[in-house]
Amino acid sequence: METAVNTVLGPISSGELGVTLIHEHLKVAWLGWAMDPFNTYDVKSALKSAIDNMKEVKALGVSTVVDPLPMGLGRDPDFHAEVAQASGVNIIISTGLDHEARAMPPYFRVRTTDEIAKVFIHDLQEGIGHTGIKAGIIKGATGEGLITKNEGRALRAAARASLATGVPIVTHTTRGTMGVEQAQIFLNEGVAPRKVMIGHCCFSTDTPYLVSIMDLGCSIGFDQIGLRHAQSDEFRLATLTGLLALGYADRILLSQDHTCCIVGAAYDRLTEQVELMKENRHSHIFRKFLPRLSQAGVDDVTIQTMMVDNPRRLFENSEKVEGRSHE
């Protein structure tokens, strides 16, 4: 059923989401950047780049962009509000913690599950910090091949915040690993599988593994399209067309995990991401990937399912969840 969704400019109805990119970034700032007096961050050029990118994808038919940046990577609600205002794109930002090896702030490593959930719920219902700008999605993240104790606690807090608010969860998996384990943590907490999208699954070309996540009822993100440091688009295309042939179109969402501004030096494998940024790449999926998907025989209805219907369904609550919230 139609559900209210918080954008940075206020609530819209899920029916208004339209073509949605479920995992993109307008700006990423490595934790600690503000402590470096020599950092080269220039807010004006960052805003210009983000606004240009958003205007370009809007012209290509995109109505909504979700930026599920975890709170430790320079989340900046006012920046996003300004970009939304100037571009006319609905922008949704998140609450949630990064994985431990990257940007989970030490403060949250010593909080209990319920203390963390309380912060998430505040971000979703009252607004982030004192901005009054509400998060509209919950982010979870884990490292490679292992879910640490602190990451597990953050995922359970994400689940509790989702249960309390009806807001969906999207995740970061590192190199596509631990997707089933992430899903099981959310489902064990009682989250409906339709409210969960396990992210960065297109790192993997392991069809049975990807099917096992979707058979739990969760969605998966083919959400790093164009990021060559993770996987080639050729293998993504091959894996995706296989999954579509198996009948999983209604559980796959497409996006790019692209960012148009990274504050601070390149991080690890993201060196290439910084280089690719110069290509104005939030439009990559439309220029380079969808035409090839069509050539491979995937019809427009299927593409619409992945880019419009599936994101909408992720945000929408069933009658049962809606009924519960009136108790």
Query: CB of residue 7 vs Zn ion: minimum separation in angstroms?
Result: 18
102 vs 111, which CB is nearer to Zn ion? 102
Nearer to Zn ion, 166 or 199 (CB): 199
Q: Which is nearer to Zn ion, 233 or 257 (CB)?
A: 257
How many of the chain's residues bind Zn ion (CB under 5 A)?
1
Pairing of strands 19-21, 10-13: unpaired
Separation of alpha carbons 160 and 56, rounded Å:
37
Tell me whether residue 257 or residue 316 sits nearer to Zn ion (CB atom).
257
Task: Name which of 98 and 123 has its Cβ closer to Zn ion.
Answer: 98
227 touches 221 (CB < 8 A) = no
> Among positive and negative, which fits the CA dihedral 126, 127, 128, 131?
negative
Among 93-101, 161-169, 182-190, 249-257, which window interacts with Zn ion (CB under 5 A)? 249-257
Distances (CA, A) of 319 to 2, 15, 188, 257, 316: 10, 16, 21, 32, 10
Min CB(168)–Zn ion separation in Å: 16
Looking at the Cβ atoms of 102 and 292, the one nearer to Zn ion is 102
Residue from 257, 281, 290, 310 in contact with Zn ion (CB under 5 A): 257
In the chain, the largest separation of any two C-alpha atoms, in whole Å, equals: 53
Minimum gap (Å) between residue 299 Cβ and Zn ion: 29
Report, in Å, the least distance between residue 295 CB and Zn ion: 28
Give min distance, CB of 114 to Zn ion, in A. Answer: 27
Sign of CA dihedral 75, 24, 155, 324: positive
Q: Quick one: how far is CA 281 from the chain centroid? A: 17
How would you classify the pairing of strands 90-96 and 4-7?
Answer: unpaired
Q: How far is the CB of 197 from Zn ion (least distance, A)?
A: 12
Which residues in the 266-295 window bind Zn ion by CB under 5 A?
none
Stretch of residues binding Zn ion (CB under 5 A), selected from 229-237, 254-262, 296-304, 316-324: 254-262
- Beta carbon of residue 199, minimum distance to Zn ion (angstroms, whole number): 7
Query: Which of these segments, 29-37, 96-104, 226-234, 257-265, binds Zn ion (CB under 5 A)?
Result: 257-265
CA distance 227 to 221: 13
In the complex with Zn ion, which residue's Cβ is closer, 21 or 192? 21
- From the CA atom positions of the chain, what is the Rg in Å? 18
Distance CA 242, CA 294 (A): 14
The closest residue (CB) to Zn ion is 257
CA distance 78 to 90: 14
β 196-198/252-254 pair status: unpaired
- Which segment (40-48, 179-187, 241-249, 253-261) binds Zn ion by CB under 5 A? 253-261
For Zn ion, the binding residues (CB under 5 A) are 257
